Amino acid sequence: MDNREEVREFLTSRRAKITPERAGLPPGSRRRVPGLRRSEVAALADMSVEYYAKLERGNLAGVSPSVLESLARALRLDDAERAHLLNLAQTADGTDALTRPRRRRTKDQWKPHRSLQWTLDAITAGPAFVYNGRLDILAVNRLGRAFFSDVYATPGNQANLARFNFLDPVSRRFYPEWDQAADITVAILRTQAGRNPHDKDLHDLVGELSTRSDAFRTRWGAHNVRHHGTGTKRFHHQAVGALTLAYEGLEMAAEPGLSLTIYTAEPGSPSEEGLRLLASWAATPQASPAPHSGG
């Protein structure tokens, strides 16, 4: 697969993010670029300017792990960016299809096995859900379905968190820190694109969002990636108001490519009381949205 444009844009964007001061270099004068010059990256990576220029043109095929590591250090890549660079190199080598399992099932073809749904249903104190790299919600517990009632309410979203974030105006109420939520959403999709460049459903989703949302298109062009494992988020739910929730994300060993996330509130906090109220609201017949075909 020819991913030279993707490689070129990623490396260029990473170089532009590093100031000379951050790299331990003198600021210099007459800089025409916001970050480092190619020659400076080459020096930091201990390679010739010509060789680095070749890499930045998108030619990662055949590049050794040691060179990639040197490049990652020179560009000050974090763990997610480093993994993304390695994924891009594997794709350039044509080895990604051989070394990583490829999921051929679509969202509608995937069904949670009984024990997984039992596990989700056993989690009663917080929303819990399973999602894929495209941010499709595939399985959810009762509290999670109530928590994401806005997502399920619009059929066009297809229980997809990225569509909800960028195409549904309600998302700006649900996510009080909308810009941060939007940044995270795009970074997750960009990370997935590096892991599985053959995912047609992901390509279709990115194309749809790029066409319909300027906010998405701008963020997609930034080439930011991230590992989304733990943290805290703020929400505003239609039924219970403000919630500040911690989350933990777990990769599912039995289902490569899928993740389980659980939201919880600090014990004794107003948000914990809010989740209790949400659980009561979820138990009322009018609160439960129509079952989603993917979950």
174 is written with which tokens?
């649900």
- Compute and round to an integer the Cα radius of gyration of the chain: 21
Give CA–CA dist 273/33, Å, rounded: 51
Nearest CA to 141 among 286, 264, 237? 264
220 is written with which tokens?
């997609």
- Using a 10 angstrom Cβ sphere, with 0-12 exposed, 13-18 middle and 19 or more buried, the burial of residue 65 is exposed
Specify whether the CB–CB gap between 294 and 108 falls below 8 A: yes
Residue-range domains of the chain with CATH: 4-99 (1.10.260), 114-287 (3.30.450.180)
For residue 287, the model assigns a pLDDT of 57
Specify whether the CB–CB gap between 144 and 203 falls below 8 A: no
Query: Mean pLDDT for each consecutive 10-residue tract of the chain (295 residues)?
Result: 88 92 77 83 95 95 94 94 94 65 54 87 96 95 96 87 96 98 96 90 96 97 90 96 96 88 97 96 66 36
For residue 41, the model assigns a pLDDT of 94
3-state helix, strand, coil in the chain (%, to 5): 50, 15, 40
Q: CB neighbours (10 Å) of residue 272?
A: 18
Give CA–CA dist 135/137, Å, rounded: 6
For residue 2, the model assigns a pLDDT of 77
